[in-house]
Amino acid sequence: MVSIREADTQKLIIKAAEALKGMEGMKMPDWARFVKTGPSRERPPEQDDWWWIRGASVLRKIYLEGRGISKLRKVYSGRKNRGHQPEKMVRGSGKIIRTLLKQLEGAGMVKIEKGKGRVITPLGQKFMDKVAKEVK
């Protein structure tokens, strides 16, 4: 059995994003084409499939550690350029993460567990293990 810890992270996320793109519940909202991924960014992402890449990345993080929205915002944080003042660390967009998690919950890959936050379901584990096996 191949674990996602053994697979190359970049290849795993790209392969999982391709698989998520084909799923019925994973659809990029209309507003996602115009939105920045956080206050530290100056422009929206240039990649056309960034929504599914971020979704695969979120799913991998939940698989490894089981995180909530606030911890995931820290993961996707960045340094905000404030002109002459020193740069400051700011958290990533919560709306994007929340919407992705709702879509993953609708697909049955993530569920909310009381006291733990979001955790991966057996279906989500099976999906990620299958992708890791393909990558490895």
Instruction: Write out the DSSP string of 25-85.
Output: S----GGGGT--SSTT-SS--S-TTHHHHHHHHHHHHHHHH---HHHHHHHT-EEEP-TTS
- H or E segment to which residue 134 belongs: helix 122-135
> Can you list the domains of the chain with their CATH numbers?
9-135 (1.10.10.10)
pLDDT of the residue at 67? 81
Whether 62 contacts 105, CB under 8 Å: no
**Within a 10 A sphere around the Cβ of 123, how many other Cβ atoms?**
13
Residue pLDDT tens, the chain, 136 long:
778 888 899 999 999 999 999 888 889 999 999 999 988 998 989 889 999 999 999 999 999 988 888 899 999 999 999 999 999 999 999 999 999 999 999 999 999 988 888 899 999 999 999 999 999 8
pLDDT of the residue at 62? 94
pLDDT of the residue at 18? 94
Distance CA 19, CA 52 (A): 9
pLDDT of the residue at 121? 94
pLDDT of the residue at 25? 85
What is this structure's pTM? 0.90
pLDDT of the residue at 126? 94
